[in-house]
Structure 1
């Protein structure tokens, strides 16, 4: 299963489909073929592994399939994986994670009905971690939201005069672009779009564009100018004139956005945090002290320490002189954001001048 998980991780993190890996073992336990899903419209992992076995002259009849996600039972761009395993004569199937997608689930039952031995939950924790954004989106009906912040040690995103380039260093900025290249969409507020004129592209170290460019989303009613960089090379542009965060997130989910990266300024960050709509924080912190200037987050309505929005540290990485802290919201996957969702573009209370910093380059 660990090999199957490693294979799955080779597939694209973005896109509507999950990353899945499959390993075929002969009756003696030797690996005879493997496969992984390479993206929408390509063969699923099970079909890829079966094809690899046949291409190498191996009859898959009687083999054991080790799969990271329950084989699907529906007809999409490709046929049901459960049927492919049945027709191939596979004898045993081990699964890490059950498929929560109501459209695709039922593969394990179909396999059992055909007389195939099926076990589920093998390295389930590792499988859940690999599929975290996709599973969250399928289970909740809204994208997995990652909020990116880039601040000084004292929590500032810009100096008193509004300047912010560069708080963080080149390694942190390069890392942020690799994250952009792995998500489905990047969002900013319309105020940020107008003030900073960001391009919101995923760029390589030499300034070129990654092959995958995420959907560029602007939240708010102010129009994006015709000559804005958001209309230039990069991913498609979508403007959502929604002031209801929950409605905006559900609209993105309907467009099959599984993972949303938010890079807007303090207004949007504050609204998302106040609505308990942030699943993961990427906080790039530079060893810089400004003492004044715009803060990363505005008033969250917290009046006592017991009301603080708390996250659990998942990982810490040094990037040159800077540090990236990855933290996750401490709530169950199925929990919905608070009912008192604030308007996405409500102006938070701030001290100092408004920030011109939208994390365009971090």
Structure 2
């Protein structure tokens, strides 16, 4: 099937969206403005650069004269917002600019930010939705999931031997995986708003929970460290040296903790909490993504990467969909997500 001009514009808008930060309250959004009556002629483009900065539509409109925007088409990855936060509503900006048509891929599920399409239609703008919706939804999966569920998107990571062990019999686990795999973990940490561990992991391993580069330097964005559990943490723990203030939940109420993190503006959490915390999240159906690092070693013994998750019979197994597999040195990274109805 031949790609239409609008689809090309939407695909370009999606590539623009990726320039924005993957973390934070706001989604990654891209926008392309096409000339009135000519879907082949690009006039301007824009993307959102983070909370407090102009949204993608406003960023694109700012590059044009008023006479250029009259009757033009705006192609946007996400339905233009309809609320005033740190910036004004994009629906109103498009109306004021005289845009004649708006094409977007995915509706905004936000309780306060949604509704822009209806507002623009009421103002006489032709509004179309659903163009490349599957592609855009996949790219925006983290933000869309968090917004719909009113809790952060939960990525769980573990590293294990091929026989599923997270540590040797004496408890040692450094290092099961190689350098390339460990560096990828740091890159994934940087993409998250927060990093979650249990008190047991802090007490046993004393992790720094920072995102670091190849030379050990701190990466520009650091996830907020969150410690889950009720046991006290010594003041000498490395987590208290983190660039971000540590959040001590003093609780094991996972749903309540995630809801509170959402209210704090956290939309994506990266879990490195050891078998106890990970198993509890899996058992509660709170995991959206699995990042499983497998090393070509065998350890045997009982120190499993995952404990009891409430599966007593094969019919109750948590079925997953594997999204990707990647070789990292001698190790393998498997990225998977819960199969619908099996979380």
TM range (shorter): over 0.9
Q: How far does residue 58 in structure 1 lie from its aligned partner after superposition?
A: 7.0
Q: How far does residue 111 in structure 1 lie from its aligned partner after superposition?
A: 0.8
Report the counterpart of residue 139 of structure 1 in structure 2.
Answer: 148
- Runs of 4 or more above 3 Å deviation: none
Residue 51 of structure 1: which of 46, 62, 65 is its match? Answer: 62
Structure 1 residues 221 and 213: CA distance shift in structure 2, 3 A: same
Report the counterpart of residue 90 of structure 1 in structure 2.
Answer: 99
- Contact conserved, 2:295 with 2:330, CA < 8 A, in 1? yes
SS in 2 for 1:269: helix
1:104-137 deviation per Cα after TM superposition (whole angstroms, max 9, x unaligned):
1111111111111000111111111111111111
1:174, 1:214 → 2: CA distance? 16
- Contact conserved, 1:162 with 1:293, CA < 8 A, in 2? no
Report the counterpart of residue 340 of structure 2 in structure 1.
Answer: 331
Report the counterpart of residue 360 of structure 1 in structure 2.
Answer: none
Q: How far does residue 224 in structure 1 lie from its aligned partner after superposition?
A: 2.3
- Contact conserved, 1:161 with 1:293, CA < 8 A, in 2? no
2:106, 2:287 → 1: CA distance? 24
1:261-281 deviation per Cα after TM superposition (whole angstroms, max 9, x unaligned):
110111111111111111110
1:50-129 aligned at under 5 Å gives the runs 50-54=61-65, 59-129=68-138
Q: How far does residue 64 in structure 1 lie from its aligned partner after superposition?
A: 0.6
1:98, 1:302 → 2: CA distance? 36
RMSD: 1.5
Q: Are 1:35 and 2:66 an aligned pair?
A: no
1:8, 1:37 → 2: CA distance? 7
Report the counterpart of residue 258 of structure 1 in structure 2.
Answer: 267
TM-score by length of 1: 0.89
2:260, 2:233 → 1: CA distance? 19
Residue 281 of structure 1: which of 266, 287, 290 is its match? Answer: 290
Gaps (5+ residues) in structure 2?
1-9
Q: How far does residue 14 in structure 1 lie from its aligned partner after superposition?
A: 0.4
Q: How many residues align?
A: 332
SS in 2 for 1:270: helix
1:295, 1:257 → 2: CA distance? 30
Q: How far does residue 293 in structure 1 lie from its aligned partner after superposition?
A: 4.8
Q: Are 1:307 and 2:301 an aligned pair?
A: no
1:71-116 deviation per Cα after TM superposition (whole angstroms, max 9, x unaligned):
0111111111011111111111000001010111111111111111
TM-score by length of 2: 0.94
- Contact conserved, 2:35 with 2:68, CA < 8 A, in 1? no
Could you say which structure has the greater relative contact order, defined with CA pairs below 8 angstroms and 6 or more residues apart?
1
SS in 2 for 1:59: helix
Gaps (5+ residues) in structure 1?
338-362
2:67, 2:198 → 1: CA distance? 55
- Contact conserved, 2:195 with 2:269, CA < 8 A, in 1? yes
- Contact conserved, 1:214 with 1:236, CA < 8 A, in 2? no
